[in-house]
Structure 1
Amino acid sequence: MEKFIDYILQFGNLNKQQIDLITSKARELALRKDDYYWEAGKTVKQIGFLTDGVIRVFYYNNKGEEITRYFIDENHLILSGNTVDEVYTPSEYLSAITDCKLVVFSKQDWKEISETIIGWDTIIQKITAKHHREKIERRGGLVSQDGTERYLDFIQKFPTLVNRVPLSFISSYLGVTQSSLSRIRKNIS
Protein backbone atom coordinates (compact mmCIF):
# COMPACT_ATOMS: atom_id res chain seq x y z
CA MET A 1 0.00 0.00 0.00
CA GLU A 2 2.85 2.33 0.88
CA LYS A 3 4.32 2.00 -2.64
CA PHE A 4 1.00 3.08 -4.13
CA ILE A 5 0.63 6.12 -1.86
CA ASP A 6 4.28 7.13 -2.45
CA TYR A 7 3.71 6.88 -6.19
CA ILE A 8 0.48 8.92 -6.11
CA LEU A 9 2.18 11.64 -4.05
CA GLN A 10 4.66 12.23 -6.88
CA PHE A 11 1.77 13.67 -8.91
CA GLY A 12 -0.07 15.75 -6.33
CA ASN A 13 -0.56 16.49 -2.64
CA LEU A 14 -2.86 14.59 -0.33
CA ASN A 15 -3.51 15.16 3.37
CA LYS A 16 -3.68 12.40 6.00
CA GLN A 17 -7.50 12.18 5.83
CA GLN A 18 -7.39 11.73 2.05
CA ILE A 19 -4.68 9.08 2.31
CA ASP A 20 -6.70 7.29 5.01
CA LEU A 21 -9.76 7.30 2.72
CA ILE A 22 -7.72 5.84 -0.16
CA THR A 23 -6.17 3.12 2.00
CA SER A 24 -9.57 2.25 3.53
CA LYS A 25 -10.97 1.60 0.03
CA ALA A 26 -7.99 -0.36 -1.28
CA ARG A 27 -7.22 -4.01 -0.86
CA GLU A 28 -4.09 -5.91 -1.69
CA LEU A 29 -4.23 -8.68 -4.27
CA ALA A 30 -1.59 -11.32 -4.87
CA LEU A 31 -1.40 -13.08 -8.22
CA ARG A 32 0.64 -16.21 -8.67
CA LYS A 33 2.65 -16.70 -11.83
CA ASP A 34 0.26 -17.50 -14.74
CA ASP A 35 -2.84 -16.18 -12.90
CA TYR A 36 -5.02 -13.78 -14.88
CA TYR A 37 -5.62 -10.25 -13.69
CA TRP A 38 -8.31 -10.01 -16.33
CA GLU A 39 -9.52 -12.13 -19.23
CA ALA A 40 -10.86 -11.28 -22.67
CA GLY A 41 -14.65 -11.23 -22.76
CA LYS A 42 -15.07 -10.85 -18.99
CA THR A 43 -16.18 -7.49 -17.60
CA VAL A 44 -13.50 -5.73 -15.56
CA LYS A 45 -14.78 -4.61 -12.17
CA GLN A 46 -11.65 -3.18 -10.57
CA ILE A 47 -8.78 -0.75 -10.97
CA GLY A 48 -5.31 -1.91 -10.02
CA PHE A 49 -1.84 -0.64 -9.32
CA LEU A 50 1.04 -3.08 -9.75
CA THR A 51 3.45 -2.80 -6.81
CA ASP A 52 5.52 -5.91 -7.49
CA GLY A 53 5.96 -8.23 -10.46
CA VAL A 54 5.37 -8.25 -14.21
CA ILE A 55 2.10 -8.69 -16.11
CA ARG A 56 1.83 -9.51 -19.80
CA VAL A 57 -0.89 -8.09 -22.05
CA PHE A 58 -1.69 -10.52 -24.89
CA TYR A 59 -4.35 -11.66 -27.30
CA TYR A 60 -4.93 -14.52 -29.72
CA ASN A 61 -4.68 -13.80 -33.44
CA ASN A 62 -6.95 -15.38 -36.06
CA LYS A 63 -4.62 -18.42 -36.20
CA GLY A 64 -5.00 -19.00 -32.48
CA GLU A 65 -1.44 -17.85 -31.71
CA GLU A 66 -0.70 -15.83 -28.57
CA ILE A 67 0.59 -12.37 -29.43
CA THR A 68 2.22 -10.34 -26.67
CA ARG A 69 1.21 -6.72 -27.01
CA TYR A 70 2.80 -5.19 -23.95
CA PHE A 71 4.40 -5.72 -20.53
CA ILE A 72 3.32 -3.95 -17.35
CA ASP A 73 5.90 -3.68 -14.60
CA GLU A 74 5.97 -2.11 -11.16
CA ASN A 75 4.43 1.30 -10.48
CA HIS A 76 1.82 1.14 -13.21
CA LEU A 77 -1.85 1.86 -12.88
CA ILE A 78 -4.15 -0.60 -14.66
CA LEU A 79 -7.34 1.25 -15.53
CA SER A 80 -10.36 -0.32 -17.17
CA GLY A 81 -11.92 1.71 -19.94
CA ASN A 82 -11.97 5.45 -20.50
CA THR A 83 -14.16 6.31 -17.51
CA VAL A 84 -14.90 4.64 -14.21
CA ASP A 85 -18.58 4.32 -15.22
CA GLU A 86 -17.82 2.56 -18.50
CA VAL A 87 -18.59 -1.15 -18.58
CA TYR A 88 -15.29 -2.46 -19.88
CA THR A 89 -15.00 -5.88 -21.48
CA PRO A 90 -11.45 -6.32 -22.80
CA SER A 91 -10.41 -8.20 -25.91
CA GLU A 92 -7.05 -8.99 -24.31
CA TYR A 93 -5.73 -10.99 -21.40
CA LEU A 94 -3.57 -9.71 -18.56
CA SER A 95 -1.57 -12.55 -17.07
CA ALA A 96 1.09 -12.59 -14.35
CA ILE A 97 4.53 -13.54 -15.70
CA THR A 98 5.95 -13.52 -12.17
CA ASP A 99 4.26 -13.60 -8.78
CA CYS A 100 2.64 -10.17 -8.50
CA LYS A 101 1.25 -7.86 -5.86
CA LEU A 102 -1.34 -5.24 -6.66
CA VAL A 103 -3.35 -2.64 -4.82
CA VAL A 104 -6.90 -2.85 -6.19
CA PHE A 105 -10.07 -0.80 -5.88
CA SER A 106 -13.60 -1.66 -6.91
CA LYS A 107 -14.88 0.73 -9.55
CA GLN A 108 -17.44 2.03 -7.05
CA ASP A 109 -14.76 2.76 -4.43
CA TRP A 110 -12.57 4.44 -7.07
CA LYS A 111 -15.52 6.62 -8.07
CA GLU A 112 -16.15 7.50 -4.42
CA ILE A 113 -12.51 8.54 -4.00
CA SER A 114 -12.80 10.65 -7.15
CA GLU A 115 -15.96 12.35 -5.90
CA THR A 116 -14.53 12.97 -2.40
CA ILE A 117 -10.95 14.08 -3.03
CA ILE A 118 -10.60 17.37 -4.87
CA GLY A 119 -7.74 17.03 -7.35
CA TRP A 120 -7.83 13.20 -7.49
CA ASP A 121 -8.85 13.19 -11.16
CA THR A 122 -5.97 15.58 -11.97
CA ILE A 123 -3.50 13.26 -10.24
CA ILE A 124 -4.84 10.26 -12.17
CA GLN A 125 -4.75 12.21 -15.46
CA LYS A 126 -1.06 13.04 -14.86
CA ILE A 127 -0.28 9.37 -14.14
CA THR A 128 -2.25 8.21 -17.18
CA ALA A 129 -0.48 10.74 -19.43
CA LYS A 130 2.92 9.57 -18.12
CA HIS A 131 2.08 5.91 -18.76
CA HIS A 132 0.73 6.72 -22.23
CA ARG A 133 3.98 8.55 -23.13
CA GLU A 134 6.02 5.59 -21.85
CA LYS A 135 3.95 3.15 -23.88
CA ILE A 136 4.37 5.18 -27.07
CA GLU A 137 8.13 5.50 -26.46
CA ARG A 138 8.47 1.79 -25.75
CA ARG A 139 6.43 0.68 -28.78
CA GLY A 140 7.79 3.32 -31.15
CA GLY A 141 10.18 2.02 -33.77
CA LEU A 142 9.10 -1.62 -33.61
CA VAL A 143 7.62 -1.46 -37.11
CA SER A 144 10.61 0.09 -38.85
CA GLN A 145 13.37 -1.86 -37.09
CA ASP A 146 14.88 -5.23 -37.89
CA GLY A 147 14.92 -7.96 -35.23
CA THR A 148 18.32 -7.01 -33.79
CA GLU A 149 17.39 -3.34 -33.50
CA ARG A 150 14.08 -4.27 -31.87
CA TYR A 151 15.81 -6.45 -29.29
CA LEU A 152 18.45 -3.81 -28.51
CA ASP A 153 15.65 -1.24 -28.22
CA PHE A 154 13.73 -3.61 -25.92
CA ILE A 155 16.77 -3.97 -23.63
CA GLN A 156 17.10 -0.20 -23.47
CA LYS A 157 13.40 0.52 -22.89
CA PHE A 158 12.65 -2.43 -20.56
CA PRO A 159 16.01 -2.89 -18.78
CA THR A 160 14.50 -4.62 -15.75
CA LEU A 161 12.48 -7.14 -17.78
CA VAL A 162 15.12 -8.89 -19.88
CA ASN A 163 15.91 -11.45 -17.19
CA ARG A 164 12.39 -11.63 -15.74
CA VAL A 165 10.37 -12.41 -18.87
CA PRO A 166 10.56 -15.72 -20.79
CA LEU A 167 12.16 -15.45 -24.25
CA SER A 168 8.99 -16.77 -25.87
CA PHE A 169 7.08 -13.69 -24.63
CA ILE A 170 9.85 -11.30 -25.67
CA SER A 171 10.02 -12.85 -29.15
CA SER A 172 6.22 -12.56 -29.50
CA TYR A 173 6.35 -8.90 -28.41
CA LEU A 174 9.15 -8.18 -30.89
CA GLY A 175 7.44 -10.07 -33.70
CA VAL A 176 10.31 -12.51 -34.27
CA THR A 177 10.55 -16.26 -33.82
CA GLN A 178 12.13 -17.61 -30.68
CA SER A 179 14.98 -19.16 -32.71
CA SER A 180 15.64 -15.79 -34.37
CA LEU A 181 15.73 -14.12 -30.96
CA SER A 182 18.19 -16.75 -29.69
CA ARG A 183 20.42 -16.07 -32.71
CA ILE A 184 20.17 -12.31 -32.17
CA ARG A 185 21.11 -12.66 -28.49
CA LYS A 186 24.05 -14.92 -29.39
CA ASN A 187 25.34 -12.44 -32.00
CA ILE A 188 25.11 -9.50 -29.58
CA SER A 189 27.03 -11.07 -26.70
Structure 2
Amino acid sequence: MEELIEYILKFGNLNRQQIDLVISKGQIIQLKKEEYFSEAGKIPKQVGFIVAGVIRGCYYNNKGEEITRCFIGENSLVCDYVNFEASTSSSEYLQAITDCSLIVFSKKNWEELSHIIVGWDHIKNKMVQLCMYQKSRKGPVISQNATTRYLEFLENYPTLTNRIPLSYIASYLGVTPQSLSRIRTNIR
Protein backbone atom coordinates (compact mmCIF):
# COMPACT_ATOMS: atom_id res chain seq x y z
CA MET A 1 0.00 0.00 0.00
CA GLU A 2 3.02 2.25 0.49
CA GLU A 3 3.43 2.75 -3.28
CA LEU A 4 -0.21 3.82 -3.60
CA ILE A 5 0.05 6.36 -0.78
CA GLU A 6 3.25 7.81 -2.29
CA TYR A 7 1.43 8.10 -5.61
CA ILE A 8 -1.63 9.79 -4.08
CA LEU A 9 0.48 12.27 -2.11
CA LYS A 10 1.98 13.56 -5.39
CA PHE A 11 -1.44 15.06 -6.11
CA GLY A 12 -2.37 16.52 -2.71
CA ASN A 13 -2.04 16.21 1.04
CA LEU A 14 -3.73 13.74 3.34
CA ASN A 15 -3.39 13.38 7.09
CA ARG A 16 -2.70 10.02 8.79
CA GLN A 17 -6.39 9.36 9.46
CA GLN A 18 -7.27 9.99 5.79
CA ILE A 19 -4.40 7.79 4.62
CA ASP A 20 -5.63 5.00 6.91
CA LEU A 21 -9.13 5.38 5.45
CA VAL A 22 -7.81 5.10 1.88
CA ILE A 23 -5.84 1.98 2.87
CA SER A 24 -8.93 0.45 4.49
CA LYS A 25 -10.94 0.90 1.28
CA GLY A 26 -8.38 -0.76 -1.00
CA GLN A 27 -7.98 -4.47 -1.53
CA ILE A 28 -4.89 -6.24 -2.87
CA ILE A 29 -5.56 -8.65 -5.73
CA GLN A 30 -3.41 -10.74 -8.04
CA LEU A 31 -4.05 -11.09 -11.75
CA LYS A 32 -2.39 -13.91 -13.63
CA LYS A 33 -0.90 -13.26 -17.04
CA GLU A 34 -3.70 -12.96 -19.64
CA GLU A 35 -6.49 -12.44 -17.05
CA TYR A 36 -8.71 -9.42 -17.54
CA PHE A 37 -8.98 -6.44 -15.20
CA SER A 38 -12.04 -5.30 -17.19
CA GLU A 39 -13.70 -6.56 -20.36
CA ALA A 40 -15.48 -5.14 -23.38
CA GLY A 41 -19.24 -5.47 -23.13
CA LYS A 42 -19.16 -5.29 -19.32
CA ILE A 43 -19.43 -2.34 -16.96
CA PRO A 44 -16.06 -1.61 -15.27
CA LYS A 45 -16.55 -2.18 -11.54
CA GLN A 46 -13.22 -1.10 -10.05
CA VAL A 47 -10.31 1.30 -10.12
CA GLY A 48 -6.87 -0.27 -9.75
CA PHE A 49 -3.36 0.81 -8.89
CA ILE A 50 -0.64 -1.40 -10.36
CA VAL A 51 1.94 -2.35 -7.73
CA ALA A 52 3.72 -4.87 -9.96
CA GLY A 53 3.21 -5.97 -13.55
CA VAL A 54 1.94 -4.61 -16.85
CA ILE A 55 -1.60 -4.31 -18.22
CA ARG A 56 -2.52 -3.53 -21.80
CA GLY A 57 -5.57 -1.82 -23.23
CA CYS A 58 -6.85 -3.55 -26.35
CA TYR A 59 -9.89 -3.89 -28.58
CA TYR A 60 -11.02 -5.71 -31.70
CA ASN A 61 -11.36 -3.73 -34.93
CA ASN A 62 -14.14 -4.25 -37.49
CA LYS A 63 -12.09 -7.02 -39.15
CA GLY A 64 -11.88 -8.93 -35.87
CA GLU A 65 -8.18 -8.15 -35.42
CA GLU A 66 -6.93 -7.53 -31.91
CA ILE A 67 -5.35 -4.08 -31.55
CA THR A 68 -3.20 -3.10 -28.57
CA ARG A 69 -3.86 0.54 -27.72
CA CYS A 70 -1.67 1.15 -24.67
CA PHE A 71 0.46 -0.36 -21.95
CA ILE A 72 0.10 0.55 -18.27
CA GLY A 73 2.91 -0.29 -15.87
CA GLU A 74 3.76 -0.09 -12.21
CA ASN A 75 2.78 2.91 -10.08
CA SER A 76 -0.12 3.85 -12.34
CA LEU A 77 -3.89 3.85 -12.03
CA VAL A 78 -5.71 1.49 -14.34
CA CYS A 79 -9.38 1.85 -15.18
CA ASP A 80 -11.75 2.46 -18.06
CA TYR A 81 -12.72 5.55 -16.12
CA VAL A 82 -15.31 7.09 -18.43
CA ASN A 83 -17.37 3.90 -18.41
CA PHE A 84 -16.64 3.28 -14.71
CA GLU A 85 -18.08 6.68 -13.78
CA ALA A 86 -21.06 6.41 -16.14
CA SER A 87 -21.76 2.74 -15.28
CA THR A 88 -21.79 1.93 -19.00
CA SER A 89 -20.36 -1.02 -20.91
CA SER A 90 -16.73 -0.79 -21.97
CA SER A 91 -15.61 -1.16 -25.57
CA GLU A 92 -12.10 -2.31 -24.68
CA TYR A 93 -10.28 -4.87 -22.61
CA LEU A 94 -7.73 -4.23 -19.88
CA GLN A 95 -5.65 -7.41 -19.75
CA ALA A 96 -2.68 -8.44 -17.63
CA ILE A 97 0.27 -9.26 -19.88
CA THR A 98 2.46 -10.22 -16.95
CA ASP A 99 1.43 -11.49 -13.55
CA CYS A 100 0.17 -8.40 -11.73
CA SER A 101 -0.37 -7.24 -8.18
CA LEU A 102 -2.93 -4.45 -7.82
CA ILE A 103 -4.68 -2.46 -5.16
CA VAL A 104 -8.31 -2.14 -6.21
CA PHE A 105 -11.23 -0.03 -5.09
CA SER A 106 -14.84 -0.97 -5.74
CA LYS A 107 -17.06 1.78 -7.10
CA LYS A 108 -18.76 2.06 -3.70
CA ASN A 109 -15.46 2.42 -1.81
CA TRP A 110 -14.03 4.84 -4.40
CA GLU A 111 -17.11 7.06 -4.11
CA GLU A 112 -17.12 6.86 -0.29
CA LEU A 113 -13.66 8.44 -0.25
CA SER A 114 -15.16 11.49 -2.00
CA HIS A 115 -17.88 11.77 0.64
CA ILE A 116 -15.57 11.40 3.63
CA ILE A 117 -12.24 13.06 2.70
CA VAL A 118 -12.32 16.80 2.13
CA GLY A 119 -10.24 17.50 -0.98
CA TRP A 120 -10.35 13.88 -2.26
CA ASP A 121 -12.18 14.92 -5.43
CA HIS A 122 -9.32 17.31 -6.29
CA ILE A 123 -6.70 14.57 -5.75
CA LYS A 124 -8.83 11.98 -7.57
CA ASN A 125 -9.38 14.26 -10.56
CA LYS A 126 -5.64 14.82 -10.97
CA MET A 127 -4.95 11.07 -10.72
CA VAL A 128 -7.69 10.27 -13.24
CA GLN A 129 -6.45 12.93 -15.66
CA LEU A 130 -2.97 11.39 -15.58
CA CYS A 131 -4.45 7.90 -16.02
CA MET A 132 -6.44 8.99 -19.07
CA TYR A 133 -3.45 10.87 -20.50
CA GLN A 134 -1.22 7.81 -20.12
CA LYS A 135 -3.81 5.63 -21.86
CA SER A 136 -4.19 8.05 -24.78
CA ARG A 137 -0.90 9.83 -25.37
CA LYS A 138 1.43 7.07 -26.35
CA GLY A 139 -0.32 5.60 -29.36
CA PRO A 140 1.98 5.45 -32.37
CA VAL A 141 1.32 7.79 -35.27
CA ILE A 142 0.52 5.44 -38.14
CA SER A 143 1.75 7.98 -40.71
CA GLN A 144 5.28 7.52 -39.33
CA ASN A 145 7.36 4.67 -40.67
CA ALA A 146 7.47 1.52 -38.56
CA THR A 147 11.07 2.02 -37.41
CA THR A 148 10.23 5.50 -36.08
CA ARG A 149 7.18 4.09 -34.30
CA TYR A 150 9.32 1.37 -32.69
CA LEU A 151 11.96 3.87 -31.58
CA GLU A 152 9.21 6.00 -30.01
CA PHE A 153 7.86 2.89 -28.30
CA LEU A 154 11.32 2.28 -26.80
CA GLU A 155 11.43 5.89 -25.62
CA ASN A 156 7.92 5.81 -24.11
CA TYR A 157 8.19 2.31 -22.60
CA PRO A 158 11.92 1.74 -21.95
CA THR A 159 11.40 -1.17 -19.53
CA LEU A 160 8.81 -3.19 -21.44
CA THR A 161 10.68 -4.68 -24.40
CA ASN A 162 11.97 -7.69 -22.48
CA ARG A 163 8.89 -8.08 -20.27
CA ILE A 164 6.03 -8.48 -22.74
CA PRO A 165 5.37 -10.63 -25.81
CA LEU A 166 6.59 -9.12 -29.08
CA SER A 167 3.21 -9.90 -30.63
CA TYR A 168 1.64 -7.23 -28.37
CA ILE A 169 4.30 -4.70 -29.31
CA ALA A 170 3.73 -5.48 -33.00
CA SER A 171 -0.03 -5.05 -32.55
CA TYR A 172 0.55 -1.72 -30.79
CA LEU A 173 2.83 -0.54 -33.62
CA GLY A 174 0.48 -1.73 -36.36
CA VAL A 175 3.01 -4.13 -37.90
CA THR A 176 3.33 -7.89 -38.20
CA PRO A 177 5.58 -9.75 -35.74
CA GLN A 178 7.88 -10.56 -38.67
CA SER A 179 8.22 -6.86 -39.56
CA LEU A 180 8.98 -6.06 -35.93
CA SER A 181 11.74 -8.70 -35.91
CA ARG A 182 13.31 -7.11 -39.01
CA ILE A 183 13.10 -3.63 -37.46
CA ARG A 184 14.72 -4.85 -34.25
CA THR A 185 17.50 -6.59 -36.19
CA ASN A 186 18.18 -3.47 -38.29
CA ILE A 187 18.56 -1.11 -35.33
CA ARG A 188 20.87 -3.28 -33.25
TM value normalised by structure 2: 0.93
1:118 and 1:133, CA in 2 relative to 1: closer, same or farther beyond 3 A? Answer: same
1:40 and 2:40 matched = yes
Cα RMSD between the aligned structures?
1.6
Runs of 4+ in 1 over 3 A off after TM superposition: 79-85, 131-137
1:38 and 1:84, CA in 2 relative to 1: closer, same or farther beyond 3 A? Answer: closer
Which residue matches 1:27?
A: 27
**How far apart, CA to CA, are the structure 1 residues paired with 2:65 and 2:137?**
26
1:14 and 2:14 matched = yes
1:96 and 2:100 matched = no
Identity percentage of aligned residues: 55
Gaps of at least 5 residues in structure 2 are: none
Give the stretch that moved more between structures: 97-106 or 44-53.
44-53
SS at match of 1:82: helix
**How far apart, CA to CA, are the structure 1 residues paired with 2:155 and 2:83?**
32
Shift of 1:133: 3.9
Q: How does 1:77-156 map to 2 (within 5 A)?
A: 77-82=77-82, 85-139=85-139, 142-156=141-155
Q: How many residues align?
A: 188
1:120 maps to a residue whose letter is W
Q: How does 1:169-184 map to 2 (within 5 A)?
A: 169-184=168-183
1:89 maps to a residue whose letter is S
Q: How does 1:45-84 map to 2 (within 5 A)?
A: 45-82=45-82
SS at match of 2:82: coil
Shift of 1:79: 3.2
Give the stretch that moved more between structures: 43-52 or 163-172.
43-52
2:33 maps to a residue whose letter is K
Query: Is the 1:46–1:106 contact (alpha carbons within 8 Å) kept by the matching residues of 2?
Result: yes
Shift of 1:44: 1.5
Which residue matches 1:3?
A: 3
**How far apart, CA to CA, are the structure 2 residues paired with 1:21 and 1:67?**
38
Shift of 1:88: 2.9
2:58 maps to a residue whose letter is F
1:11 and 1:74, CA in 2 relative to 1: closer, same or farther beyond 3 A? Answer: same
1:8 and 1:67, CA in 2 relative to 1: closer, same or farther beyond 3 A? Answer: same
Shift of 1:61: 1.7
Query: Is the 2:83–2:90 contact (alpha carbons within 8 Å) kept by the matching residues of 1?
Result: no
